[in-house]
Amino acid sequence: MKLGVLLQYWDTRNDVRLLVQELSRRYEVVLLAKEQDRKSLSNVPNEVRYVKDGSWFWPRFWSYIFLLFGRIPRSRRNYYIDEYFKMEALPFWQKLRVGVFLGLSRFLPKWFTFDAYACRLASQAEVALDDLDALFVITEICDPGTLGKALLQQKKIGTYVYSWDHAPKHKRMSQKLDWYFTWNAPVGDDLIELQGVPPERIRPVGSTQLIYVDSYLGDTAARRRQVAYEYIYFGCAAGSPKFVRQEVRLISWLAEILQAVAPELKLLVRPYPFLPDWRLYAPLRLLQNVAFDDAYLERAANRTLTPKMIDEKFNRLEHARAFVHMGTTLGFECAYFDTPMLFLAPEDFDFGLPGSDRMHLLNFFGQYHLEKYLHLTQYPNVVTRCAGLRPVLTSAVNMPKSLLGYNEAIRANTPLRSLPEIVDSIAACFDAPAAKPAKPVSHVLA
C-alpha cells in the first residue's frame, strides 16, 4: 500500500517522526508537508511532496469565510479561548485583523462545515494524490485543500487525534473520514459529543506522546536519581506572555507556601519549552528556594528534545516529592509515576488582571479537557481555593501515598502502549477491505 501522511510540526513532535518510521516499515509512505517544513525534512528517507495553493485569492477568500461562518466544536468557550491564545503571538496588525474577524464570528451563524471548506479548496491543492491508496492525517489538519482533494477522490482516510485536548478546541476536524484514531475511549466520546463524529468510526489505539513513558519505565539506568537535592517540581503550562505573567505570580505564591511547609525543599521550575522570551521568569530567579530545570534548552540544537532529554524530564517527575501544574500534558505523564500531583486552579487567587479579561487564567482553568481529565475535584489534589494549598502540599510532603488515587484515576483511561502496538491497531483498519460503498461527491460536500 502507498500511504500519504499529511503532517506538520515535524521539528517538535519526536513521536510523530517515530510514528512515520514505524508506518514506513509496513507501507510505502509519502510525506505531504507545508513548504515551511522543507528544511527539517531535508534528510528523511521518504518521498516528500510539498503542498501549495494554486492561487492567492481563493484560499484566502475561503479561509475568511470559514473563520466567520465555519462550524466550531460544541465546546464553544474552549474554542475561543484557544483562538485568542494563539492570536497573542501574532504581529500587531495581524493580531488586529484576526481579532476583528474572531469578534464578528462570535455573533454569526455557523453553517459552513470543515468538509465543505476543504472540498472548496481541493482544486487549489497542487499536490499529486492519484497514486496514493490511502491518506493518514494528524490533527490539527494542516492543509484543508489536500484533505478535500483526497475526499473527492474517495481515498481511504484515517486521522490520528494527536492530543487529549484537540477535540474541544479545534475546528479543522472532518466528519467524513473513515477512521478516527484516539488515545482512549473518552477522547472518542469527545469527538462524538463536540465534533459530531459517527461513533462507529472511532478506534482507540493509544497515545504516541506517552510511548516515552513506557520506554522510560523499562530503563533501569535512566531511572536512577539525577537531582541530588529534594524538590517539588513545577511544570509551566503557558506560552503566551499574558498568561506567563499570571503563572509567575502563582509560582511565587507556591514558593512562599513551600517555604513555610517544607523549607528544606527546593521548588524546581520547568519553563514552558516554546516560550520565546524567558525573561518573563526573571522574578522567580530572585527567590531563594526556586531553581530552574532549563539546561535542556541550552543543549538543544533546535526545538526538538532528544530521547535523553525526555528521560531526564521523566526522572525529574519520578523523583520529585510532588509535581505541581496548572494544566499540561506533563500532568498526564506524571500520572504513571508514584509522585503525588497537585493541580492548581485557585478561583480566589489575585492574578493581577480583571476577571473580565479574556486572557485571565481562570478561563484557562475552565477549559473542557482540563475539567474532564484533570480537574477532578473529588480528589484533594485539585486546589480550587487558596486555603487548600497548604494542607495538600503538607500531605504531599509527609503522606504522599494518600494522594496517589488521583494518579490512578487519570492513568486508568489510557493504558501505556508501545509504538508498534499503536501502529498495529492503525494498520488493521487500513489493511481491512472496504466495509462500505464509496462516498458520493454530494455527500462529501454536505
DSSP string, 275-330: -S-GGGGHHHHT-TTEEE--HHHHH-SSSPPPHHHHHHHHHHHHHSSEEEESS-TH
Q: pLDDT at position 291, please?
A: 96
Q: What is the mean pLDDT of each run of 10 residues along the chain (446 residues)?
A: 93 92 97 91 93 90 95 93 84 90 95 97 94 96 95 96 95 95 97 96 97 96 97 90 91 97 97 81 95 75 76 97 94 96 95 86 88 94 97 97 97 95 97 65 54
pLDDT at 303: 59
Q: Where are the domains of the chain?
A: 2-207+418-445, 215-411
Cα of 181 vs its chain's centroid, Å: 15
Cell of 319: 523523583
Q: What is the pLDDT of residue 298?
A: 62
| Largest CA-CA distance found in the chain, in angstroms, rounded | 68
Strands of 382-446 (E only): list them.
Answer: 382-383
**Rounded distance between C-alpha atoms, residue 283 and residue 106, angstroms:** 37
C-alpha cell at 42: 531535508
Going by the DSSP 8-state scheme, the letter that residue 46 receives in this structure is S
Question: In degrees rounded to 5, what are phi and psi of residue 352?
Answer: 85, 10
User: What integer pLDDT is reported at residue 435 of this predicted model?
Assistant: 55
In whole angstroms, give the CA distance from residue 205 to residue 160: 9
| pLDDT at residue 116 in the model | 97
Report the CATH fold assignment for 215-411. Rossmann fold (3.40.50)
Q: Is 158 helix (H, G, I), strand (E, B) or coil?
A: strand
Give me the torsion for CA of 17, 21, 22, 25, rounded to 10°: 170
Domain 2-207+418-445 has CATH 1.10.10: no
10 Å CB burial of residue 225 (0-12, 13-18, 19+) is exposed
Find out whether 194 and 172 touch, Cβ atoms under 8 Å. Answer: no
Which pLDDT belongs to residue 302? Answer: 56
Domains 2-207+418-445 and 215-411 are alike in CATH topology = yes
Burial classification of residue 399, based on how many CB atoms lie within 10 Å of its CB (0-12 exposed, 13-18 middle, 19 or more buried): exposed
Q: What is the pTM of this model?
A: 0.91
- What is the β-pairing status of strands 2-6 and 134-138? parallel
